[in-house]
Structures are given as C-alpha cells and as structure tokens.
A and B are shown apart, each in its own frame.
Chain A
Amino acid sequence: MLSIIKCVALNGIQGFIVDVQVDVSNGIPKCDIVGLPDASIRESKERVSTAIKNSGFEFPNKKIIINLAPATVRKEGTALDLSIAIAIISANKNVNVNNIQQTLFIGELGIDGNLIAINGILPICIEAKRMGFKRAIIPEQNCREACIVDNIEIIPAKSLKQVVMFLNNQISINPVKSKEKSYNEKQFLFDFSDVKGQKNIKRALEIAASGGHNCLLIGSPGSGKTMMAKRIQTILPNLTFDESIEVTKIHSIAGKLSNNNPLVVNRPFVSPHYSITKIALVGGYKEIKPGEISIAHNGILFLDELPEFDRGTLDALRGPLEDGKIQINRSGMNISYPCKFMLIASMNPCPCGYYGSENPCKCNENSIRRYLNKVSGPLLDRIDIQVRVERVKYHDFNSENEEESSATIKERVKKVRNIQNERYKEEGILLNSELNSEQMKKYCRLNKNCEKILEKYFDKLKLSARAYSKILKVARTIADMDSSKEIDKTHILEAVQYRNLDKF
C-alpha cells in the first residue's frame, strides 16, 4: 500500500516541498528511511513506530520503505516525524485520505505519541502558505508563533491520536485565530540620559543609528564605550512588520523564540564574547544554523574589545558587512542567510589603554603596533565612523544638567530614517549605508567647494576608494539630519572627522 504526504522542509530560510512516500508491503519485516535523511530523521523511525503503537494504532509488521523525495537534497531535523507517522497510518487505511489533501503536518513525536514543539515553525508556515497549503497541523506549543501567518488555517494538536481523530472527523479542533498585532515592545532598563557629557560620541552614535553606519569607539578604560554602545538599541526605531517577520524567521530557525515572545519587535542586539569562533559568528556547523551575525539581522552586532577577537573571526565579517548576506557552503548544501546588521565595536588604543589620553601610556611602540595589528586594515576600512572616546570630565560627571533622553533621540532618528526611506523608495534600499556606487552618484552629489575639501583630505590621508564612499555616505546622513537636500561643506567636514583611524 502506498501513501504520499506532502510536507515542507527548510533549506536556510527557504522552504521546499518534501514528499513523504511510504510503501507497506509483504516481506521480511523491516523499516527503512531513504532519501538522504540525517541522523535525527533516521532515528525518527524508532520514535514513530513506538508512538504509533502507544497511540493505540497498529504499526504494520511488514516491509516498510519510507522515501523522502526529492532524494538528492539532505533533510534534517525532527519536524517530519508527524508526516511520516500519518503516512504510515494512512498506508494502513486507518485515516480518512480525503482530509489529508493540502494539509501540512509538522511536529516531533515523543514515544508516548505526544507532539513536541520544533524550531523554525514560522518560516515553514510562511513557505507552506506560499506553496498553496490550506491548513497546517502543528504542535500546540508552537501555535503562538505560527499564528502570525494569516490565510492558512493553523490547527494546534497535542498528540498523534488527536490528529488522527481530527482527520477522521471524530473530534473537532478550533483553528487558532491570527492574533491582533499587540506584541509588547521591550522596556529598556537603561537610557541615554544616564550618560553624562560625551556630547561628541552621542552625536556620532546618533549619526550611526540614523544612517545605519558601522561605528568603532576607541578609548581608554572606563570612558564609557560599552555603556554608550549598549544604549544604541534604545534609540533605534522599532522594526516594521515586514522586517519583524524576517528577523523572527531567523530567530525561529535558531530556536531563540519563546512562547511569550513569538514575534521579535525590537531590533536585536547581539554582543558575543570575544572567545566566539568563526563558525558561531557567521553560521554553519553540521546542520547549518544561523550565526550571531544573522541573529543580529536588522539590528546591532556589538563587538566589545575588538582586538581580543580572533583575527580570522573578524576577517570573516568582511564579506557579510558589504553584502548584507552570508553564503554558507557545506557538503552538498549551500545556504544563504541575510545579515544586514550595524556593527558597533569598541577597543582600547593600546594594551595599557591610555595611549593618546591624558594619562601616560606605558606601552612601547612594538606592543602598540602588535595590538592594533590584531584588527585588520580591511575591516577598519569598512567601519564608517571611528571616534575617540575621551575621559569624562569631573564637572560633566557630577553636573545636575539633564541629559537628553533616549526617547527624544529616537524621535529624531526616526525622522531622519523616514527621509531616507522616502528618498530611496524606488531603489529598494532603506538607508544611506546601503547605497551602491551607482546610487551614490545620483544622491550624494557634491558642489565644487566640497569636492575641493574632500580631494585635499583624500590625498593627505591616502584614503581608499571605499573610505571615500563611506565619508560620502556619512556626509549624506549628516545632511539628512540637518534636513538639507544638498551635502554642504560642514557636513563633509564633520564626516571626515569621523575617520579617526585613517590618521594612524
């Protein structure tokens, strides 16, 4: 007896249809799974057979062949358990075949027959909708996440027995209604008004946030680099719904979602420790998981103590920083994850930390060079804004002056971002930092005066072509903050100032 059930499996965040084909025939009893399953799917025959028995159905003691077509693509994860179980039960004629059409079965089975939540339910449901499934039967714990998708009937189930009874019209399960978008945004425990003084750094960070520029903070210990970097997330505007779905998809695959927090609303802020490996940062490993840079998609990747990171790890960021996506190739698979993040990094200028500050530096030239060499030039070149953070002055520190709160800065950032979104509506980009060379010619035109200034700096500091375009982009953002149509002399001059490391 043959039975075929269609299911959706994931390749990165793209889905593809998997035919679960089950044939039950006479012969020496055995159960084999073919079609490039990974270890977790190969084990699923033991889970499925026990779950079927423990749910009170007959597991045929016959020759069972399970094929996962297309057999050339590797499949992984436990999400196919339920499909395999239903296919075996329907091959045994224990289920109403008419009810199986256009239905997606997703879920892991425990050997007691209960359904267990899986990772990546949101992208699976979105892809299933695209491929024309009418309804999806999923584990109950996953339904809050899945009900974000509309136009597909989401049916939560507790156990295999419940699913079969539902298909046989013995019981009815109410589909989950897609919830009103009442997802709470996170309340931050900290605010930019906690930072005393440091006006210039705040300005730099505001520019970075407005245009989505990468930013490097260099300064002596205790000057507040980390403190300010952590507060950037409080001034970024919330994700739009589409962005939010995109981010949630990645978080769903990475298993970072909880039931209380099914949709990512705030921009993600990822700050990995410097012991992180290359694979953990960019993604990969055996079953290709999104790395930290993809988790930080549409948000911030904060690398504290930049030179302490492995050099190779940092250099792996070069491509993704430019492309906004990462292509991971492993045996027989290539998967691409989006990773359009804002890189915020902080570092000391030398091993003792006081080089160039009011305190005397104890380091010799060699050790400083060795320290700075840990961060490669190509990476620094890709960082638009590089600023020195100075020691906080005593009177700033103890003053009673009210500092600007995050909410006010956030409003301004939102306004500037709106200007950019409006201007780039037809270009398919959102922010100044995403401009390519063609678009820069169109939107970052300079007048004679500005060109002359830039030329002088370009020759004096021996800037790279990339540094030149980065300066232009930052100048564009500063002009937008001034609500000015054209880039002015002052904008260029300010933008040039933010290329601090070029002077080293």
Chain B
Amino acid sequence: MNKKEFGNIGETIACKYLLSKKYKIVERNFYYYGGEIDIIAYDESAEVLIFIEVKTRSNLRYGLASESIGYVKLKRIIKGAKYYMFLNGINGVKIRFDALELYYKNNKFLINHIKEII
C-alpha cells in the first residue's frame, strides 16, 4: 500500500465519521489550480459550510498530523474555498475550516476533529 492509497483510506474513514455526526458530504477531493480540498461538508443544524483538511498518519516519526498544516497550506485552503464558492455561486453563508487528524494504531483509526482552524 503506498502513501496515496493510505491517505484515501483515511479520507473515506473521515467521511464516515462526518456522516455519523449528521454532516452532509457536499464534495470530495475538490481539485483546483494550486491544490485540493479533501472534503466539503454541510452542517444543516448550524447552517455552516465546512471545508475540511484530512491528515492521516501511521506513525508519529514526522510529528503530529495537525502540525503539518502550516501557513501556506491554510492559504491554499482559503484560495480553494473562494474558488469553490465562486464556481457554485455561494454567497453569504457561514463558513468554517476544520481539520481532521487520523492516527492509525493497532488496526484502528483514532480521529481528532479540530474545528475553526482559521
């Protein structure tokens, strides 16, 4: 299993987690010039559009997953979010940026949901 497959598995599990939390998955792997947004979800109860960055790690040799989301990555996510809203004509909606950390340990994924990373 290479890194990309491992990441995709992580994203699939993240989607299951979000669905269990009553979020709606709007789009997965939204590509744009300059990057990708892993998951775009919608929280109906709070009426918030959520852009989610998923990070999956099998070990902690290179630090925590959340540590790898730096300034440049945040800028990219914001750029992607703007582009997505422009494409779909979304305006005046509450917006949130979340990060999902997934750690693979003993054949299990541990999930840590960080809200409002910006």
Hey, which bits of chain A sit against chain B, CB under 8 A? 25-30, 61-62
Residues of A contacting B95 in the complex (Cβ-Cβ under 8 angstroms): 26-29
A29 to B94, CA, bound (A): 9
A29 to B82, CA, bound (A): 12
In this complex, how many residues of chain B approach chain A with their Cβ under 8 Å: the count is 11
A62 to B94, CA, bound (A): 7
Residues of B contacting A61 in the complex (Cβ-Cβ under 8 angstroms): 96, 116, 118
Residues of A contacting B93 in the complex (Cβ-Cβ under 8 angstroms): 26
B97 at the interface (CB under 8 A from A): yes
Closest residue of chain A to B94 (Cβ to Cβ) is: A26
User: In the complex, which residues 96-118 of chain B have their Cβ closer than 8 Å to any Cβ of chain A?
Assistant: 96-97, 116, 118
Shortest CB distance A360–B (Å) = 74
B14 at the interface (CB under 8 A from A): no
Residues of B contacting A27 in the complex (Cβ-Cβ under 8 angstroms): 92, 95
Residues of B contacting A25 in the complex (Cβ-Cβ under 8 angstroms): 92
B81 at the interface (CB under 8 A from A): yes
A429 to B45, CA, bound (A): 73
Contact A29 B97 (CB under 8 A): yes
Hey, which bits of chain B sit against chain A, CB under 8 A? 78, 81-82, 92-97, 116, 118
A28 to B48, CA, bound (A): 12
Shortest CB distance B86–A (Å) = 12
Shortest CB distance A64–B (Å) = 12
Contact A30 B94 (CB under 8 A): no
Contact A29 B118 (CB under 8 A): yes
Known: A25-B92, A61-B116. 14 other contacts (CB 8 A): A26-B92, A26-B93, A26-B94, A28-B78, A28-B81, A28-B82, A28-B95, A29-B96, A29-B97, A29-B116, A29-B118, A30-B118, A61-B96, A62-B94
Closest residue of chain B to A30 (Cβ to Cβ) is: B118
Residues of A contacting B116 in the complex (Cβ-Cβ under 8 angstroms): 29, 61
> Could you give 18 example pairs across A and B, Cβ below 8 Å?
A26-B92, A26-B93, A26-B94, A26-B95, A27-B92, A27-B95, A28-B78, A28-B81, A28-B82, A28-B118, A29-B95, A29-B96, A29-B97, A29-B116, A29-B118, A30-B118, A61-B96, A61-B118
Closest residue of chain B to A25 (Cβ to Cβ) is: B92
Residues of A contacting B78 in the complex (Cβ-Cβ under 8 angstroms): 28
A25 to B93, CA, bound (A): 9
